[in-house]
Amino acid sequence: MKRWMLLPLAVLMLMPASLAAQEDAAPTWWAVFTEQVAPANVAAFEENSAAMHELIVANAPAEMIYYTHSGPETGYMYAIPMESMSDFMNMNEQWMGMVNEIGWDKWEAMQASDLVEHSSMNFYVEMAEGSYHPEGFEESMADKPARHFDWIYPKPGMEDEVNEVMKEWVALYEEHGMDNGWTAYQAVSGDDLPMVVLVTPTTSAGAYYMMSEEADERLGEAGQMLMMKSMEMMRKFEHNDAMFRPELSLVPDTM
């Protein structure tokens, strides 16, 4: 998170037109910054991140929010909720103002860019119709610190078909009264589009896979048929897991 501030204007100019067109839309947008760190450098990166987080908490404006997740395959992900591109611009200005308060020399001295192998920044938008939120979904997230990610890459030209089949999955889960839910996000920027990611909160990675097996049994043949239909629309499918890191996040409870 600490290395991606001060995004150049060129980054915003390269954003897809669809993002600007959604300025007044209802869905929540997310700016997600990712840092990949080699296993040998994780301990040093964690130590540096803790020190940087302490500095940020002491100087950040109250309205600044981001959620940190980390995992062996996902790296460190910092997700910032937005209602519009104006929010993103405001966040960038706030970040610059915070660094000015801290002092650029002190800020630069605490950087650990040599520990980061790769970094990226992409935008996502929540897909309400492709998300399944059973009763108590949001309330239960406090007890589910792990996140399972399903990365879906539709075949070119089949984005609409994938959106429709996601609605079918929601309907199937509703029909069977399933209590495990997910939130769907469409990637708006990135190097491998089109792409959709499903994020499922769970207590642990192991608990997710046990839950997935139980869901397969309950959904039976209908679930198998829908899975076959879904896979035919994909050019690629990946999955991985991460943990929510409240101690490296900036949310109201940490201020």
- Burial class for 239, CB neighbours closer than 10 Å (0-12, 13-18, 19+): middle
Q: Is residue 230 domain-shared with residue 247, that is, in the same domain?
A: no
When mean pLDDT is compared across 133-142, 147-156, 196-205, the lowest value belongs to 133-142
Q: Is the pLDDT of residue 163 over 60?
A: yes
When mean pLDDT is compared across 11-25, 46-60, 208-222, 223-237, the lowest value belongs to 11-25
Q: Give dist(CA 42, CA 37) in Å, integer.
A: 6
3-state secondary structure of 63: coil
The residues with which 124 forms a beta bridge, in sequence order, are 30, 187
Mean pLDDT over 85-90 rounds to: 80
* Higher-pLDDT residue of 52, 84: 52
Question: How many structural domains compose the chain?
Answer: 2
Residue 107: HSE in the Cβ half-sphere, 13 Å Cα cutoff: 18
Q: Is the peptide bond before 8 cis (omega within 30 degrees of 0)?
A: no
Structural domain boundaries, residue 54: 9-123+243-254
pLDDT band at 6 (very low <50, low <70, confident <90, very high): very low
Q: Is residue 235 domain-shared with residue 132, that is, in the same domain?
A: yes
Q: Is residue 88 domain-shared with residue 192, that is, in the same domain?
A: no
Whether 181 is in a domain gets the answer: yes
Q: Is residue 104 domain-shared with residue 154, that is, in the same domain?
A: no
* Pair of tokens at residue 84: 């519009």
Mean pLDDT over 161-178 rounds to: 97
Q: Is the pLDDT of residue 20 over 90?
A: no
Mean pLDDT over 11-19 rounds to: 41
Output the domain CATH number for residue 64: 3.30.70.100
CB 55 within 8 A of CB 102: yes
Q: Is residue 155 domain-shared with residue 218, that is, in the same domain?
A: yes
Q: Is residue 150 domain-shared with residue 228, that is, in the same domain?
A: yes
Q: Is residue 45 domain-shared with residue 93, that is, in the same domain?
A: yes
3-state secondary structure of 80: strand
What does the DSSP 8-state code read for residue 76?
Answer: E
